[in-house]
Structure 1
Amino acid sequence: MKKINRQVVLDTETTGLNPKEGHRIIEIGCVELINRRLTNNRFHVYINPDRIIDDGAIEVHGITNEFLQDKPRFADIVEDYLEFTRGAELVIHNAPFDVGFLDHELSLLEGEERRTEMLSGVFDTLTYARKKHPGARNTLDALCKRYGIDNSHRELHGALLDAEILADVYLLMTGGQASLLEEEETNDTEGGQQIIRLSTDRPRLKVIRCSDDELSAHEKHLQHLQDANGACMWLK
């Protein structure tokens, strides 16, 4: 039986930068990965922090005090949050920030025995990115640009949106999607690298050839490149 590897990609938004100064979580967003595949399981909640949000924080995420007035408290959603993340490895960008806030919220309710890293393992994508790309910018936006992930719809930070984007970054940064097709088998290794074996019963891929008009247009474009630049490598 194939082992199930469950991960939860998580992000939070907060009232400020430091829980030791009384700042609180106001949004949690999570997406689920099973064996490096995104599922449709999501956990998303807004939380009333019972305090004022810093103006600088509102500029980042756009969540206002008025919007949160009728939202549940952390104590109201904690069991649902713990049930969703139970047994999974958490994948977080700049994990000490989010884990610090989560631990603070949990300590207010149950004490230190429910610290996040005791409940589930944590993979910090920022630490990993800094090792993989030393000296480079490794913000979530920078990683999206590096790995060709479209985040143009990300005008403001949002916990669920950022978790979805981070899931894409994580899969590409840690070696790409393990398998794109359901029926692929990946139980062979060579030199420590996993080898994907495709089923011999798989239908042949359909080859779509260009039409005469498309071929003619392509050749005209290559000729235009050569005339404009004095050379075109595809015409050599």
Structure 2
Amino acid sequence: MRLLMVEDDAGVTETLATYLRRQGYVVDAAGTLDMAREALASNRFDLVIVDRTLPDGDGMELVVGAAERGRPQRFLMLTAMSGVEDTVAALEAGAIDYVVKPFEPRELLARIRNALRRELTEPQALKRFGPLSYDVETNGFTIDDDPLVLRRTEALILAALIARPGAMVQRETMEARVYGYDQFVNANSLESQISRLRRQLAARTDRVRIQAVRGVGYRLSET
């Protein structure tokens, strides 16, 4: 089994890589997001262990990027960010597990083994919700097979919602998908984007709407 460690602390990388190699794993290391992206583009890894705080961004960008490209990959977050919202956002974005530093090596090993048992499935190229369809490969939307032209931010919001049809997507997760994890977001910015998207949908169909879960997030609902 081949693992990729994305961690900028050389001491943590060396200690953990040595431990995992003794357990029989092949371990590659990347200290930045850019290095990790290069490694993922040119190699196949059974599991990617990712820190959140990296010199050039948030490790969550790797998780979100894999989901947006429709490229299945196992991710395990290993980070000092211990908030419940941090954990929820990572799991909703597609991470298999979330381990908080400091950690017990034997527990981490058990979580790695459990993560490796997860089957990777190719995402459906076409996602549907009522009359709404989303082509993962082209990032295009249609309603009743007629194109729905959206701005980039509107398309990102709708893609996040249709990826989990009918399920609630947390506001923090949505903001990260649209604006990035290291950007300050005005409190009303997401609402204005969603309001415009609602008008776009309402002009084309009365069978799909975006429902707000007050103070928590949003979901697609079918009428």
More contact order relative to length (CA 8 Å, sep ≥ 6): 1
More strand by share: 2
What TM-score, normalized by structure 2, do the two folds share? 0.24
